[in-house]
């Protein structure tokens, strides 16, 4: 696994221009070892993650009294070896949006978005024809044919009708891996847990997902706290790819 980070510096408020010409700011940061590029008036640094870089650049901005907005993101890149050794994978499905589906709430304690599914709610129909879809970015639905194949070949998947014609089914799991195992190295400014929902508190979580080994019973489809949706074994991935070749791997879950 490799961690990368992106730091963006832009005029405040955007799209106001930067307080100094981009070329001058790029030269200034380069003198201090930080290599930004100009992207349509926004300075962008995209490199392998270095834990100290963000605070160093913040101090440089403060030292020059630059009135700017700064953005920071960190994300993992997983290689074939990571997937080979991980028991469970995060998968990405084709996305659709359905206005009538409202399933996201905010925790009153920390503000984190929480998915609340109503398995009894049915939409009139699904216009798409793909065998597996991500609805509004929060959960997956599968075609009747894929549901039947998963019931025969995989363990752990639970289904309920998603549309009135029963052409698609909400994909859930019978078991969950329980709470996330939190390590400070996977967060920026980890501050413990929300007293309301139990979610970890931090400025950023970049992973990977970690759960207790003892909570996994070997199911091919399983839920995990903090992750919206299900996690899948290699066996489940291979079956789903038979129905949807465009399916992609999007991360791993480690068991400890």
User: What average pLDDT score do residues 208-233 get?
Assistant: 92
Q: Dump pLDDT digits (tens) for 227-239.
A: 778 999 999 999 9
Asked if 110 and 161 sit in the same domain, the reply is yes
pLDDT at 187: 93
Report the candidate in 44, 41, 43 with the shortest Cα–Cα distance to residue 17. 41
Asked if 68 and 130 sit in the same domain, the reply is no
Asked if 108 and 13 sit in the same domain, the reply is no
Choose one of 56, 77, 98: the last residue of a domain: 77
Asked if 145 and 61 sit in the same domain, the reply is no
- Domains of the chain: total: 2
Neighbouring CB atoms inside 10 A of 243's CB total: 16
Asked if 12 and 130 sit in the same domain, the reply is no
Asked if 240 and 133 sit in the same domain, the reply is yes
Report the candidate in 225, 177, 173 with the shortest Cα–Cα distance to residue 199. 225
pLDDT at 74: 96
The answer to pTM > 0.85 is: yes
Range of the domain at 56: 2-77
Given a contact cutoff of 8 angstroms between Cβ atoms, the answer to whether 42 and 9 are in contact is yes
pLDDT at 106: 83
User: Mean pLDDT across the chain, nearest whole number?
Assistant: 92
pLDDT at 127: 82
Given the structure tokens 């480690």, which residue do they identify? 254
């Amino acid at each position: 696994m490799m961690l990368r980070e992106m730091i963006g510096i832009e005029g405040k408020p955007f799209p106001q221009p930067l307080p100094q010409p981009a070329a001058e700011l790029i030269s200034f940061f380069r003198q201090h070892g930080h290599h930004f590029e100009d992207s349509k008036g926004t300075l962008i640094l995209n490199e392998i993650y270095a834990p100290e870089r963000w605070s160093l650049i913040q101090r440089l901005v403060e030292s020059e009294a630059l009135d700017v907005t700064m953005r920071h993101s960190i994300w993992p890149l997983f290689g074939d070896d990571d997937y080979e050794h991980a028991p469970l994978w995060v998968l990405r499905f084709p996305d659709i949006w359905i206005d009538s589906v409202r399933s996201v709430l905010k925790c009153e304690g920390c503000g984190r978005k929480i998915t609340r599914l109503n398995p009894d709610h049915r939409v009139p129909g699904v216009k798409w024809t793909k065998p597996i879809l991500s609805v509004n970015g929060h959960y997956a639905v599968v075609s009747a044919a894929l549901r039947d194949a998963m019931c025969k070949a995989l363990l752990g998947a639970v289904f309920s009708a998603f549309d009135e014609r029963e052409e698609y089914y909400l994909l859930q799991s019978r078991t969950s891996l329980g709470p996330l195992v939190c390590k400070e190295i996977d967060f920026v400014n980890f501050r413990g847990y929300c007293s309301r929902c139990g979610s970890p508190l931090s400025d950023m979580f970049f992973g990977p997902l970690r759960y207790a080994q003892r909570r996994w019973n070997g199911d091919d489809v399983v839920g995990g706290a903090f992750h919206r949706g299900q996690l899948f074994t290699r066996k489940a991935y291979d079956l789903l790819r038979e129905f949807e070749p465009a399916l992609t791997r999007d991360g791993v879950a480690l068991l400890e």
